[in-house]
Structure 1
Amino acid sequence: MPALWTYPWTMAQEGLDETCKGIVERGLDEITVSSHYHSVRSLQPQFPHALFRQFPGGCHFSPDADRFDECPVTPSPVAIEGFDDPLAEITAVAHDHGLAVNAWTVCLHNTRLGTTNPEYRIESAFGDSHDHSLCPSHPAVRDYFATVVEALVDRSIDGVHLESIGFPSAFHGHGQEFGHDKRQVLTDPAEMMLLSQCFCDGCQYAAESHPIDLARARARVRDLLERALRDPTTETPSLDALIREEAVLDALFEFRASVVEAFVERLADAAGTVPMNYYVAESPGGADPKDVWSAGVRPDRLDASLDRMTAMCYVSDPTVARERVLKLKELVDCPVDAGLTLDPTIVETASELHALVDTLKDYVDGPLSFYHHGLLSETQRRWIESAIEGS
């Protein structure tokens, strides 16, 4: 059951019927359509007359006005030429062609939401807020995304696919206001993750019902970071070492995990009987299933709420990809799928893609998903077709 990530504007560029027909002819069974997304500027090699497409973050569906009336966070619709309600229209045509449709739902990482709802942004131990992400400790944030999921389900989708459910990196911005990331200190992974810890009002309120002294944790995080800010030669212990040695920091990351766990439970309730998938990759943390804990994501504590998870195997080495899938399977009881990229800096040839597909097909429980329809050249689209035929 191979699948393809795609954007609404890519499908509109070719025409919905023609696009769905071509996807089916290449041997694909599913499409995963961006539905709630961050800002993006994408290069479309298939369309030289419209080479760049740029959109702000927001809803790639038409938010139902009355559905969000009671929601403190305001949805941001994205106008995409050729559509009134992109997800609903794509789903209807795709189903006519026998394609399943998943709603690709990027949650907390969204600069437009952060700038229009500043009271719910993440906030560092020093008190600076970051526009590029909302904090899941706020009940209003959880309510907003639960309402988004309910709206997606109403559009007859076959699955909800979650991305960016964890506490994000302070260095993962999007949008015109962020600019280039400039720094010469705090380049150590532990320091970057400590600076990415949130201590906003929502976290302070949520911490009252958890066994953590958040004020003490904040003071300890500040102390560690201030040393590094004063002297970049300071050696900060690894996060693993810090949580082993300091109970207050261990409690901080346990608190983060409980917040994310409650967030995902809320989304699962909103999805009802529609299957929910999570892409196991976070910034900070990367895509190794055993490293995303620093963003508050513990896969083993989420599988009760999720129907499946996707190991993000954006690598060229089949052994590395296989080990990533197996690591995730060690942690969770739900089915595990895999995502592959055709980024030419990673996968350079058709034979490399074939090797990845041939290896992973024996280890995954469901679809291999290919990234990404709108970013692919015609040659790379043929590689996918050939890899599917040979698998």
Structure 2
Amino acid sequence: MKFAIWAYPWSLVDEGVEQAARRLERIGIDEITLATNYHAVQTYHPRQPGRSTFFARASAYFQPDGEYGRLEPVPNERMGEDDWLAEIADGIADTSLALNSWTVGCHNSRLGMANRDFALENPFGDRLVFGLCPSKPAVHRYLTALVADLDARTPFERIELEQFDYFYGTGFGWHHQKIHVGLGDLGEFLFGLCFCDACRANAADAGIDVEQARLQCIETLDAIAAGELVSDIGVAAWLVHHPSVRSYVEIRCETLAEVFADLRRKVDADLGYYLPNLAPTDAWKYGADPDRLATTLDHHVALAYGSNRTEITDCVRTAQSLTDTPVHAGVLAGHPAIENRATLVDIVDGLANAGVKRVSFYNDGLLPERNLDWIEAATEPHR
């Protein structure tokens, strides 16, 4: 069984890469999955001397050098002229640790704010600037150039893709958002459904009545807001009775499959994709069909940030039923999911019994010292 841990580059650099690598080897970690291109964030670091928190806009943690076109990743300001990816790759070169890239694609408020014409556009015509739309040719080019650039510069074992899709199946993803209507899953999904020119063109080419679909989304959202329609209707159940919107949603899976096929052609490293946390069957809301993507991916990661063995193993088994691609597991090794050593040990034992070959723990720099001890105890029987 292999064990990976997600990590932020600033955290490893602050600690000292070689020192961090030795620490991770001691607790049974085989792979560092490093944030290389990431969304806006504030983090809290309980073990980090001199920096308890880190603020960043959507940033790259390397110096880009690819054929990007109009959209290009922006190096983090705190990194300056340095290249943290290169520093970390060099720092672990003589260790037993493999290096993976944890790459965020379309969730990029910096690029969305600066290039609104490439952002998601909801049924009302509002630009959702926290998310780029993968239907846009320029975004497609950006995603493939980003992954190719990363793969060319560092011998990654794996490149794992987060939000190379239509953003979580919701129209909300900004800081300090204010919502005083109980939209429910249905309302949030419809509010975030992209009707940009590229999405509309793809649907129209497939013979879908795009305007009917858009108006049905608006009418339903207005009815929920007015209290004329309950908000707890399931998205899939609603789509059964709105075939234009259902067909519109299904087209996105075809578009995303084309994006992933291009990524596969650009990359030598293993490619992985993160499935929705504890809900792998909801991947279609993101535009992802795990079975269709199986031809271009080497693995999926079932994010299973749950609190007990049964919940997490059920999540992984569900993901395994959706695809022939190997399914790895992602576990949140701390608050608010797991609060003691015994629970984490039991969860990892359960995943081993379920035949999972690789477990990733979230997240090195965010965990207190005691949680790292829990990881050591959980990995020890399976090394």
Cα shift at 1:215:
1.8
Q: Find the aligned partners of 2:325 and 2:294 in 1 and give their Cα distance.
A: 6
Kindly provide the amino acid, as one letter, of the partner of residue 225 in structure 1: L
Aligned counterpart, 1:279: 274
- TM-score normalised to structure 1 length: 0.92
Q: Secondary structure at the match of 1:49?
A: coil
Percent of aligned pairs sharing the same letter: 31
Q: For residues 243 and 186 of structure 2, what CA distance do their matches in structure 1 show? A: 17
Distance in 2, matches of 1:340 and 1:40, equals: 20
Answer whether contact 1:27 1:385 (CA < 8 A) is retained.
Answer: yes
Match of 1:347 among 335, 338, 357: 338
After superposition, residues 1-391 of structure 1 pair within 5 angstroms as: 1-64=2-65, 67-68=66-67, 71-81=69-79, 84-154=82-152, 155-168=154-167, 169-173=170-174, 179-229=175-225, 231-235=226-230, 237-271=233-267, 273-281=268-276, 286-391=277-382
What residue identity is the alignment partner of 2:161?
Answer: L
Report the 3-state secondary structure (helix = DSSP H, G, I; strand = E; otherwise coil) of the residue aligned with 1:248.
Answer: helix
CA 1:328–1:165 in structure 2 vs 1: closer, same or farther (change >3 Å)?
same
Letter in 2 for 1:27: G
Unaligned runs of 5+ in 1: 174-178
The alpha carbon displacement at 1:81 in A equals 4.1
Cα distance change of structure 1 residues 254 and 82 upon mapping to structure 2, 3 Å threshold: closer
Quote the offset at 1:130 in angstroms.
1.2
Distance 1:107 1:136 in 2: 9
Distance 1:49 1:233 in 2: 54
Q: Deviations over 1:221-244 (max 9, x none)?
A: 111112222x12522542222222
Contact 2:34–2:102 (8 Å) recurs in 1:
yes
Deviations 1:72-128 (A, max 9, x none): 213211134487222222123223212111100111111111112211000110011
Residue type of the partner of 2:262? Answer: R
Deviation at 1:257, TM superposition (A): 1.3
2:92 aligns to what SS in structure 1? helix
- Deviation of the 1:186 alpha carbon: 4.3
Cα deviation, 1:109-168, whole Å, max 9, x if unaligned, reads: 111111122110001100111110000110110110100101110122111100112212
Q: CA deviation at 1:41?
A: 0.8
Structure 1 Cα separation of the partners of residues 224 and 280 of structure 2: 28
Encode CA deviations 1:321-366: one digit per residue, 9 max, x unaligned.
Answer: 1111111111101111100002322101000100100100122443
Aligned residues: 377
Alpha carbon RMSD of aligned pairs, Å? 1.6
1:336 maps to amino acid? V
Task: Give, in angstroms, the shift of residue 40 of structure 1.
Answer: 1.0
The answer to whether the 8 Å contact 1:261/1:301 transfers is yes
Q: Any conservation in 2 of the 1:277–1:309 contact (CA below 8 Å)?
A: yes
